[in-house]
């Protein structure tokens, strides 16, 4: 055993340092679902800045120091308060905000988001099916993003109003009718935030035998 450790110590140190880097500084995460379409597609690998909000003890959720404050519009990776699953969503409301959804229109502190550039696109649905989806540019608080609405039953298009608790954040997927977000799992405590996603590193179409999508490589997220 000692000989094996000695012979492989370089590899072991590299693995340890890589793990330390990914849990404390930056990480890259493949996205398996379409809850953030059209911003993030299934098969995208996103780069996550783990130092965007807190410096944490490696391999834990313990914060050593606050570095920055989450902002409305950030794309955030976090551990689900429901079951610990790692998720990626859009931060739409801060602690103390009053958040409400009326027929899929977002209201923050009684102020409505503005919607423009509305269009209809064909979106994949199910194994081989497609549906007509509505896309729009949603603008609020000096930031904007593309959002999508699907003609699916039982989507939660009306919600609240609720007040986001102190120290917690309200998350939603950009694919509003196909996202298990804070409407279902509740707001997210700060200690469960992992980091802010800023870029797509690489991308592959998981429905086309992992065909590379080179046009999405090293592209910024908005």
> Considering the domain boundaries, does residue 194 fall inside one?
yes
45 token code pair = 């690998």
| Domain extent for 106 | 2-113+151-220
> Would you call 89 a catalytic residue per the annotation?
yes
Query: In the structure encoding, which two tokens stand for residue 169, read together?
Result: 């954040």
127 occurs within a structural domain: no
The count of structural domains within the chain is: 1
Q: Kindly state whether residue 121 falls inside one of the protein's structural domains.
A: no
Confidence of residue 14 (pLDDT cuts 50, 70, 90): very low
The CATH number assigned to the domain holding 74 equals 2.10.109.10
Please say whether the beta carbons of 172 and 90 come within 8 A.
yes
Contact criterion met (CB below 8 Å) for 133 and 122: yes
pLDDT value, residue 1: 58
- pLDDT band at residue 20 using 50, 70 and 90 as cut-offs: very low
Tell me, yes or no, whether 124 lies in a domain.
Answer: no
51: pLDDT strictly greater than 70: yes
In total, the chain counts a number of residues equal to 222
Q: How confident is the model at residue 222 (pLDDT cuts 50, 70, 90)?
A: confident
The reply to whether 145 falls in a domain is no
Residues 6 or more apart in contact with residue 60 via CB below 8 angstroms = none
- Given the residues 35, 179, 182, 203, the one annotated as active site: 35
Start-to-end Cα distance in the chain = 50
What's the predicted TM-score (pTM) here?
0.87
Q: Is the pLDDT of residue 156 over 90?
A: yes
Tens of pLDDT along 93-125?
999 999 999 999 999 999 999 999 999 999 887
Residue 144 lies in a domain: no
Task: Find the mean pLDDT for residues 70-99.
Answer: 96
* Residue 176 forms part of a structural domain: yes
Tell me whether residue 143 is in a domain: no
- Which one from 56, 79, 80, 89 is the annotated catalytic residue? 89
User: How far is Cα 155 from Cα 179, in angstroms, rounded to an integer?
Assistant: 9
The answer to whether 157 and 148 are in contact (CB under 8 A) is no
Q: Annotated catalytic, 219?
A: no
């Amino acid at each position: 055993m000692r000989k094996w450790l000695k012979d492989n110590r370089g590899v072991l140190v590299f693995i340890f340092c890589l793990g330390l880097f990914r849990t404390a500084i930056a990480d890259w995460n493949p996205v398996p679902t379409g809850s953030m379409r059209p911003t993030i597609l299934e098969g995208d690998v996103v780069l996550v800045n783990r130092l965007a909000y807190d410096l944490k003890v490696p391999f834990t959720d313990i914060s050593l120091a606050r570095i920055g404050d989450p902002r409305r519009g950030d794309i955030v990776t976090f551990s689900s308060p429901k079951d610990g699953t790692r998720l990626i969503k859009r931060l739409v409301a801060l602690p103390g905000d009053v958040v409400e959804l009326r027929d899929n229109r977002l209201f923050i502190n009684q102020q409505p988001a503005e919607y423009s550039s509305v269009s209809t696109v064909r979106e994949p649905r199910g194994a081989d099916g497609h549906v007509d989806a509505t896309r729009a540019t949603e603008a609020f608080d000096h930031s904007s993003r593309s959002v999508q609405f699907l003609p699916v039953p039982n989507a939660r298009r009306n919600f609240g109003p609720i007040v986001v608790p102190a120290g917690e954040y309200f998350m939603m997927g950009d694919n509003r009718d196909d996202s298990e977000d804070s409407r279902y799992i509740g707001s997210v405590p700060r200690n469960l935030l992992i980091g802010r996603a800023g870029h797509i590193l690489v991308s592959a179409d998981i429905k086309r035998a992992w065909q590379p999508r080179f046009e999405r490589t090293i592209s910024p997220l908005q």
